[in-house]
Amino acid sequence: MSIRFLSLTLLATLGLGSAHAQKPTPNSKTPAKAPLKAYSAAGKTVKVYATAANTTQRLSAGADLAFAPAGQPLETQVCVFVDPGHSFQTMLGIGGALTDASAETFAKLPKAQQQEFLQAYYSPTKGIGYTLARTSIHSSDFSSGSYTYVADNDKALKTFSVKHDEQFRIPFIKQAMAAAGGKLTLYASPWSPPAWMKDSNNMLRGGKLLPAYRQAWADYYVKFIQTYERLGIPIWGLTVQNEPMATQKWESCIFTGEEERDFIKGFLGPTLAKAGLGGKKLIAWDHNRDLLTQRASAVLDDPQAAKYVWGVGYHWYETWTGSAMLFDNVRRVHETYPDKNLIFTEGCLEKFELATVNRWDLGEKYGMSMIGDFNAGTVGWTDWNVLLDETGGPNHVGNFCYAPIIADTKAGKLIYTNAYYYIGHFAKFIRPGAKRISAASNRDALQTTAFRNPDGTVAVVVMNQTDKPLDFQLWIAGQAAKTTAAPHSIMTMVL
């Protein structure tokens, strides 16, 4: 497969916000944002990269576009309007989760395919340039079995050891870091405390953390961070609990909003600070968009909890209820708590079938979510497993799912779903430190978002989910470049 890529300067991931930022008081005034320097598209050319159904285009470079003077657009003219003079949130990064399942699958690949995989995800020139990653604190469903880092009933955590992770996961993370240029913004999430810390005495099927073990569990996060960092893996941040309102057949633990608030302000926040880890970015919620506003208010309306929280994380699985993706809930939280950050922490397509890895809607769901999330104020976007095998696993409870890249471990080859390319239209061209800029379409058939990178390049993403080609103009400050969005396509225009 021959794919031309645009080479962009790889820029260091910026730290966003403060772990101890206070919510403004009602009488405080938020300083007005200074507009960016006036931007002119006159004389500029546009490089176009496209992925389209029923074609061979996969992040493929097309003919350059040229701007020409354009007056007031008519209502009959289809346009994507971009205004680089107005900016919003700053991009943290885009990436995926480095799970036990991904690590174990990676280890089964021939060396050549391992290197191909690392380059495909982490090279900013020959791949899509991932800069963000998530991993689990001991086991999740995407592990070959349940495990913890301590012996049963060891409240003092004297037996704490990540020896389990040293076989597959830690070497895998280190190789991903190296492929990304030596730095990867990595955060960690627990799926459940050890069984003996819970009222159910079971890591699976929900249950709650017993009050008697709240301090020991807070200490456990600290031990994890310190141990991983001692082994050469920096931890940028952590979430309080994966999916705290879901009783799953796999590792899970329930926290109400009040329980999460109280655990943060009474135990986890102070424990991190006491250990000298107060600068780690603490992320609340880490569950679906449907209850996002309620959880944000439960935690962030308490100043003693909010001072420890960097931001709020969320997933896309609210669609299990029959709902569409609830981007307005993300936007409401951004509007209500502008001093906090929003980060997409997990999403994947479930119920894996190897025969359907080429279905086009895999990528379109990613494109729709990423455009909607970024336009709602999100600063980072994290896919779920970066790699799974031909069964959609391994997964110790049979919860098999899709990943952007599937490894056929029997044949020793990699299968690239179109989700990989759709994510690449964002990750490759919108780099850490980029600022989202104003972008809007005058037709609902064209979805769009745009960012201005630290090096001055502007990246505009346009997606067409319809069955028809759509001619449109990229319109910037009285200059327009004409192009076409193919049926079921995504394109990134860089200028």
Q: What pLDDT, in 10s, does the model give residues 404-423?
A: 999 999 999 999 999 999 99
* DSSP letter for each residue of 98-148: --HHHHHHHHTS-HHHHHHHHHHHH-TTTS----EEEEEES--TTSSS---
Residue 18 is predicted with a pLDDT of 35
Residue 364 is predicted with a pLDDT of 98
What is the C-alpha to C-alpha distance for residues 258 and 271, in angstroms, rounded to an integer?
A: 19
Structure-block tokens of residue 357: 């890895």
Average pLDDT over residues 432-448: 98
Average pLDDT over residues 461-479: 98
- 171-175, Cβ contacts within 8 angstroms, sequence gap of 24 or more: 171/103, 172/98, 172/102, 172/103, 172/106, 172/107, 173/98, 173/103, 173/133, 173/135, 173/233, 174/232, 174/233, 175/114, 175/118
- For the cut 50, the answer to whether the pLDDT of residue 180 exceeds it is yes
- For the cut 80, the answer to whether the pLDDT of residue 20 exceeds it is no
SS3 492: strand
- For the cut 80, the answer to whether the pLDDT of residue 14 exceeds it is no
- For the cut 50, the answer to whether the pLDDT of residue 30 exceeds it is no
Helices 327-336 and 361-375: angle between axes, nearest 10 degrees: 20
For the chain, helix (H) and strand (E) counts, in that order, are 11, 22
SS3 86: strand
- For the cut 70, the answer to whether the pLDDT of residue 7 exceeds it is no
Residue 55 is predicted with a pLDDT of 98
Of all residues in the chain, what percent carry a pLDDT higher than 90?
92
Average pLDDT over residues 379-395: 98
What is the C-alpha to C-alpha distance for residues 149 and 166, in angstroms, rounded to an integer?
A: 12
Region of poorest pLDDT, from 13-22, 35-44, 158-167, 262-271: 13-22
- For the cut 80, the answer to whether the pLDDT of residue 494 exceeds it is yes
Residue 33 pLDDT grade (very low, low, confident, very high; cuts 50, 70, 90): low
Closest CA to 282 of 296, 263, 269: 269
Structure-block tokens of residue 27: 């009488």
Average pLDDT over residues 313-332: 98
Residue 328 is predicted with a pLDDT of 98
Residue 38 is predicted with a pLDDT of 80
- Interstrand relation of 458-464 and 489-494 (parallel, antiparallel or unpaired): antiparallel
What is the C-alpha to C-alpha distance for residues 310 and 18, in angstroms, rounded to an integer?
A: 6
pTM of the entire structure? 0.92
42-97 tens-digit pLDDT: 999 999 999 999 999 999 999 999 999 999 999 999 999 999 999 999 999 999 99
Helix, strand, coil shares of the chain as percentages rounded to 5?
25, 25, 45
The dihedral formed by the CA atoms of 21, 22, 25 and 31, expressed in degrees to the nearest 10: -10
195-214 tens-digit pLDDT: 999 999 999 999 999 999 99
Q: Which residue, chain included where needed, has tokens 């021959």?
A: 2
Residue 37 is predicted with a pLDDT of 62
- Catalytic residue numbers read 243, 346
Residue 46 is predicted with a pLDDT of 98
Closest CA to 88 of 366, 338, 461: 338
Alpha helices of 301-360 — where are they, by DSSP H? Answer: 303-306, 327-336
SS3 369: helix
Beta bridge partners of 484: 471
Q: What is the CA 330 to chain-centroid distance, rounded?
A: 14
DSSP-assigned letter for residue 446: E
Write phi, then psi, for 381 (nearest 5 degrees).
-140, 120
Average pLDDT over residues 311-338: 98
232-261 tens-digit pLDDT: 999 999 999 999 999 999 999 999 999 999
- For the cut 80, the answer to whether the pLDDT of residue 36 exceeds it is no
What is the C-alpha to C-alpha distance for residues 26 and 59, in angstroms, rounded to an integer?
A: 47
